[in-house]
Structure 1
């Protein structure tokens, strides 16, 4: 037996004996006895495995897997953060890390630059989206995962790196030299005037600088004569609670309730109010949300709705109303543990799934309709709990065709945009660029000649399964004609569907090309050109009667979806 196994067993013994002693030191009741008993059972099982299992085991890996499996039975947000994951955890909370400033991705068997961030080392060194990484400081990245490559790119700032790349459409490999820097990702990657009187702020995360960025954007937009504001929280997964409170406080008066937390440890229960004078407590606000808006995004949109401070538009939000607290563990590790639930000003909880009561198969159900409770906003409008924030103005989500989904999955838009950008020096601005019919025809030819593209539809796969079941049950003979007719109608037809969804395909292609030249800011600017939710928000903000009517409850009352 190797020394590694002995050290692992000794390490586990020390921890478990300490835990046992600690639990017995606090109390002798049955609950603590059960804890101590099971910890000792776990240790003895681990010791026997370490001594007698036929192959050598990795103690650290085995224990981590057992901890992950244990936490998985609770909720998705209670997680163990190992020492190697600490930097990623810091990135989530601060938006800051030391690296090259680029998003990387796996494409086929290669790791590529998916998106360089404007103004950072990768951008300054001339790295482009689609570049295939071959070596980093002489170390081959062949066969490595994106996590492995990320670890090579991140580290101490001011360290020089040489990245050997292969650029699609270019025969020779290139060496790109750069210096690793501290990267601070923006929480507000774009803001601007979308009409002569309406300002727009796109907030994509809640890190420790988010409130400051929103505040600066708001002040600048007001200086540009913004008479109303659109705050876009679509796809924003949340983040730090204090930032959600500060951002809400930019729009509501000092002393207003924003959110409260309630958990098992009553001394941690807390009510959070606006503690500062707002930037503007009167300016009309439209908050945009969708299924991807969660946690802190739901606190902001929910508080704005409950206080009748603005109109919420879009789709029902995710429904994450659970509070996580980070607890320090030994050896520079952490436990992110759910300690409470969020309650917004009306008193409702925004949590959608009940993890404390699982179904027999282990799945988690939503709050039952019979348990959904009615609450009231500051003006007396009806709102409901049961999960997430239901918008004041509901807008059906836009969906893509199965053809577009297949093309996204197989990197068709990405790969064509890569070749296009590598052979064309510039394009029109993000607000003006269009994919011409000539360029679209080149794209269609590229797709048809690609060996990487496969066009499948879910409905035909389901039909195949149904046909197989009919054959097994000997029912196929009596429905042969019906199956044949349905198969003919549902079968993917590339030429037909390219024409059916031409406008959609052109838009997706244009968006991908725009990002190559105008980066993240340009991509957002392009996506706003024909945005149904944004256009509806503009309508509401430009109609004083509709805006006021929604907030006083005289028009636009929504009903809960059951």
Structure 2
């Protein structure tokens, strides 16, 4: 008996450390039953004897989340109270008013309004601070969740009391709730006379239909080349990735294959309908936040040499999740398979099955990535996201720009600007004048914000190393002089990094007038990836050369 116990414990250790499957079927069922019994008796003892009262729902949810965290970030449990949020994530629909509320230093601020929703129609404005919802003071009620209070049955009304910039007394607004549809394509339009642009931000239900509609509308406006933007797209539904890929590749072409532990679920998915266009030149914009379904579409375009990818390497999520119903109205989203794009590669970057001793996980080394080939014979690699054909540098904000944004000063100035200017030029044309920028510099001069530049950080590291290695006394005068010389000046940085700060202000202000569309259109003039796409489209010999075998 003791030997059997040692064998069981030893096998359990192997399972945790290496992910090996060593149990027989009967052993596995016995271990499951045994551990569930241990869990139930332990919980019973806690509930009976723990010094304070325990909340059973919270305790169990905490234990479930901890268990699933040991697997991967995508296997999640949804309690009954969270099902509405889960449905919103998959369908993009909810019953509410269509406002994005953010917590700013304890204040509930309207950060964005969805176009055409009850929130916009009611007169609610970006920058409004919500004080009360149906008479509930959400500032003093710590348990009040503004998001849940704003949701409700279609046709019901919610009364909002808001504090608005420039007005001394609060404003009361009556908003009729309705079905709010969060669109997958928040913007599409023409970049110039022949280049169309589609901003694809999600893969919720109807994403394929939205992309098709956007494509056909742009085609009717004279589009001859297309920029498809999947930057910052976290992915979503697999069937929508297939539908969107099908817009650009012929019927019958393989899109993706899934392989997992349950062999009956392994499946190959192909384009089911005639393509809308298999010839139009395409550029797909990616970055390291393009994940999952966004990577399937990007990978399909690359594997079939259907277009050129520009930007940064994608996130590397090659895992498929399936939703399973559980008891009492709960659900679990569980990773059931890996997916493989047409070249045969899986782009999963992180190996969750082999954790380090401290529980952390690491990315697959570039040296271990395997080469595959596109239809034209170009070499592509697995195991680390999709690498663009034309790589650009990720835009890293300067410390001053980052501080001004994180402290809310860019947003607050946009609120102030809109209150003082009833209208502005169209978003593509709007630019702060030099005088207006100087007004911002004056306005922010007495606001609290600070930052440490990378040079200052490096000097701090140098000083610490010098003290540790006993060289500080020899170089302290030089260090002091260098620190004094390199110490940042806010006034100087406001001039040095004026272009970046003005870009942030232009985009934020435009969004307060024209919402998401304004934010996007205001960015076109300074977006380096869009510039790279337009430059490539001007040189079609280069475009075609990229798609040929080297």
| TM-score, length-scaled by structure 1 | 0.91
Instruction: Please give the residue correspondences for 1:304-343 in structure 2 after superposition, counting only pairs within 5 Å.
Output: 304-343=301-340
Quote the residue 2:418 is aligned against: 421
Whether 1:293 and 2:306 are equivalent positions in the alignment is no
Quote the residue 1:481 is aligned against: 477
Quote the residue 1:532 is aligned against: 528
CA distance in 2, matches of 1:424, 1:48: 65
CA distance in 2, matches of 1:265, 1:161: 48
Quote the residue 2:118 is aligned against: 121
CA distance in 1, matches of 2:144, 2:544: 50
Instruction: Please give the residue correspondences for 1:2-81 in structure 2 after superposition, counting only pairs within 5 Å.
Output: 29-81=26-78
Quote the residue 1:236 is aligned against: 233
Deviates more, 1:499-508 or 1:364-373: 364-373
CA distance in 1, matches of 2:265, 2:512: 48
SS in structure 2 of the partner of residue 358 of structure 1: coil
CA distance in 2, matches of 1:146, 1:188: 34
Deviation at 1:139, TM superposition (A): 0.5
Deviation at 1:37, TM superposition (A): 1.1
Deviates more, 1:252-261 or 1:368-377: 368-377
CA contact (8 A) 1:406 1:456 kept: no
SS in structure 2 of the partner of residue 262 of structure 1: strand
Deviation at 1:387, TM superposition (A): 1.2
SS in structure 1 of the partner of residue 510 of structure 2: helix
Deviation at 1:224, TM superposition (A): 1.4
CA distance in 2, matches of 1:197, 1:469: 57
Quote the residue 1:137 is aligned against: 134
Quote the residue 1:546 is aligned against: 542
- Could you list the runs of 5+ residues in structure 1 that have no partner in the other structure? 1-26, 555-562
Instruction: Please give the residue correspondences for 1:326-405 in structure 2 after superposition, counting only pairs within 5 Å.
Output: 326-405=323-402
Deviation at 1:370, TM superposition (A): 3.4
SS in structure 2 of the partner of residue 353 of structure 1: coil
CA contact (8 A) 1:134 1:164 kept: yes
**Deviations 1:369-398, CA, capped at 9 Å, x for gaps:** 332100000011000012110001111122
SS in structure 2 of the partner of residue 485 of structure 1: helix
CA distance in 2, matches of 1:529, 1:144: 44
**Deviations 1:89-131, CA, capped at 9 Å, x for gaps:** 1111111111111111011111110111221111111111111
CA contact (8 A) 2:138 2:144 kept: no
Distance 1:472-1:389 versus aligned 2 partners, 3 A rule: closer
CA distance in 2, matches of 1:233, 1:369: 24
Whether 1:500 and 2:514 are equivalent positions in the alignment is no
**Deviations 1:433-485, CA, capped at 9 Å, x for gaps:** 111111111111111112x3233446535654664575577553233123313
SS in structure 1 of the partner of residue 451 of structure 2: coil
CA distance in 2, matches of 1:145, 1:367: 44
Quote the residue 2:20 is aligned against: none
CA contact (8 A) 1:111 1:146 kept: no
Quote the residue 2:148 is aligned against: 151
Quote the residue 2:517 is aligned against: 521
- Could you list the runs of 5+ residues in structure 2 that have no partner in the other structure? 1-23
Distance 1:28-1:261 versus aligned 2 partners, 3 A rule: closer
Which of 176, 180, 201 is 1:183 aligned to?
180
CA contact (8 A) 2:369 2:384 kept: no
Quote the RMSD (CA, aligned, Å).
1.7
| TM-score, length-scaled by structure 2 | 0.93
**Deviations 1:50-109, CA, capped at 9 Å, x for gaps:** 111111111111111000001001000011111111111111111111111111101111
Distance 1:320-1:367 versus aligned 2 partners, 3 A rule: same
CA contact (8 A) 1:381 1:552 kept: yes
**Deviations 1:301-339, CA, capped at 9 Å, x for gaps:** 000100111111111001111100000011111100000
Q: Runs of 4 or more off by more than 6 Å in structure 1?
A: none
Quote the residue 1:437 is aligned against: 434
CA contact (8 A) 2:400 2:450 kept: no
SS in structure 1 of the partner of residue 445 of structure 2: helix
